[in-house]
Amino acid sequence: MEDHDGAEFVQKYYSNGTTFLTEFLDGSAQVFYPSGLLALVVVVTEENGRVCIVFDDSDASYQPVRALFQPDGRATCYHSNGNIWLTLNTSGGQCLDEEGARVRRWAWSSPSLTPTALHPVFLSLNKTVGVRVLGSEQVFVSILASGQQAKFNVGACCAQAKCYPDGAAAGPSVLKEELLLCAARIRIHVAIQGICQYLSTPSHPRLPKTIQAPYLHVLTERLLKVSAGATMSESDRAFIHRCLQECL
């Protein structure tokens, strides 16, 4: 690793000189695949929690998002076909197969829940990036490529995680937050797709309308249907619609 005096970041490189890792003083980081594409980004929040987004190493017109981790312990990982593979929240987690059928489910230790034994979970998102779940505060994203390695703990931050003595009391709030997060995630995905398309054809006078993946249309319709019956303010509902308008 190279550290430059007075610099606000340190960097690590592949043997061919391209950047592998850029880590900032606040703990935020960017990691790149040997191809030069962004592998993951880690952002440190004001409360010292971590948000991590993992992208696939794809030569398509856009990079699919393969995983998203939040400081309160909520997380979602996706199969290569776009279906959900792993979900985590303050109660526990579950794994699903590529068709969407549940194959594993567990609960963290909690006064209001009967804990379910969790055997370590390991997912290979691709040939380079892996996710290991050992507990609610022990969730790790690792990347190993061309002789370089990096590992990040993206589990629940104790200062961020909330414990609800009555699971029902948290229901509406958690549902609303999940809906807002999912809508924002779709908007980010579409924005990244647009940026990648622009970078691939910068001289094109007018870019054609991007054709969204079919699963995004299905997810958008489901999200709108659920949000219509959820308890939330009109401003939150309008935010969801703004995020999803390009997928309608």
CATH no. for 1-163: 3.90.930
Measure the CA–CA gap between 104 and 146, rounded to whole angstroms: 33
Task: Kindly list the distances between the CA atom of residue 43 and the CA atoms of 55, 72, 97, 125, 161, in Å, as whole numbers in the listed order.
Answer: 14, 14, 29, 20, 17
Q: Note the pLDDT of residue 216.
A: 65
Q: Note the pLDDT of residue 200.
A: 59
pTM of the shown model: 0.61
132 neighbors 144 (Cβ within 8 angstroms): no
Q: Of 164, 166, 189, 163, which Cα lies nearest the Cα of 67?
A: 189
Q: Note the pLDDT of residue 20.
A: 94
- Residue 18: which residues within 8 A CB-CB, separation 6 or more? 32, 34, 36
Measure the CA–CA gap between 246 and 248, rounded to whole angstroms: 6
Q: Note the pLDDT of residue 158.
A: 42
Instruction: Spell out the domain ranges in the chain.
Output: 1-163, 165-248
- Burial level of 104, CB count in 10 A (0-12/13-18/19+)? middle
Q: Note the pLDDT of residue 57.
A: 92
Give pLDDT tens digits along the chain (248 positions).
444 444 567 889 999 999 999 988 888 889 999 999 999 998 887 676 788 999 999 877 778 899 999 888 899 999 999 999 999 998 899 999 999 999 999 988 654 445 555 678 999 999 999 999 998 889 999 999 999 999 999 988 643 333 333 333 333 334 566 677 778 777 777 777 666 666 656 555 565 566 665 656 777 777 787 777 777 888 888 888 888 887 77
Measure the CA–CA gap between 33 and 14, rounded to whole angstroms: 9
